[in-house]
Structure 1
């Protein structure tokens, strides 16, 4: 059997063998241990971070309306959860949305596959990890990031809604970050839909019985989350919110033009 050398993607580069470092860019950025001269390098990292933002903005700026789909990288192909991902990707593409995922295997691959097979645009936003996770074969446009926070910005900036398939810590991180942005009105008219009532039911019960009942969130905050087993309903929720946002923007633009005309 041919022995494979270690490999890691670092932004736009691929390194193999002895060039694979012991840590990732995120680890080194967040680690305050070691000599003080290590910390003095942080200002220079800002330039690399800036470059990642510029690259992401440049590559994604001309996407059509898009929806970000999250879900587990560990979901095997052919399982009901994987097929659910394929279906949501297909329906989003048929509705005219580009599909954005983390670009990895499992549910991410499934959503990208559904989008491609429906003739839509399939995007993968990858991340450098200590263990290599390659971009799945169904990605049309793939961007590899060094820093999680840059990647997360791209997930939000170029999407008009989120769909979360069953997943683990990464999916929960992305889900609650999205909910926090909506709750604090950093993003508006931004639907968050969970697919899989059985999987997500316990979490929703805990949110209602613990977070709401102890005053950690308001009862209205629960309404920021919508749960369904039907991919078509998930797409309908997103499309209706998208249409409502477009209508509101048109009204605001007409009001602004009317104010200018009156002033003239």
Structure 2
């Protein structure tokens, strides 16, 4: 009787784990919507584009193709994220729980005392918790990767939307399709990991340069340096490329283009130049 209770109890645990989901159900059928977009993935889209009689018609068709393909990529990407964040977790926890439960029932079958049954059950509960903890750690890592994928996608989407405002001479359909393919690629796990590794490498290189600077020269932390650094990296980590270009342009104009921004920020040699940069750029 007790064994039957254990089986029922853990059946509820496994079913409970399998019901975990991090996303709501969609109100539209994705497959049906993807089907309506298939015309924009046909091999003849370039032929159709070239056959348009005017540049205005070509521009309009180009933007239709881009919008349709971006939409299709978004639909598939959202399903991909949903699958890896919920289905994978459910399968992992459920499978681990099942294996542990079978092990416990095996122990029960060889020992008849209630104490042994309770001990085996306790071990299974502990094992299930360990499985959940493991998958929670996996989910936290996955969240970071998905966040990077989203950031990569948004950055590439800016390039696509910017191109859609241009005429066909400046942004042809062929070039646009390359950007759409890049939009897909940066939304992959590999693309996200590559970007994370790239950022980590840049941060390490910057840290190594700062350490080398401290060891080789006089290091001076001042208000002007802090202002320039905040202007360069508003959140402390990610470079604002437009602001970086402004700093480099100023440094080139003032014959400092052979000096790294990191060295310029903190070397005592450039304390006066930093104040001038803050005034000239200007940086508030």
TM (norm. structure 2) is: 0.23
TM (norm. structure 1) is: 0.24
Q: Larger strand proportion, structure 1 or 2? A: 1
Q: Larger helix proportion, structure 1 or 2? A: 2
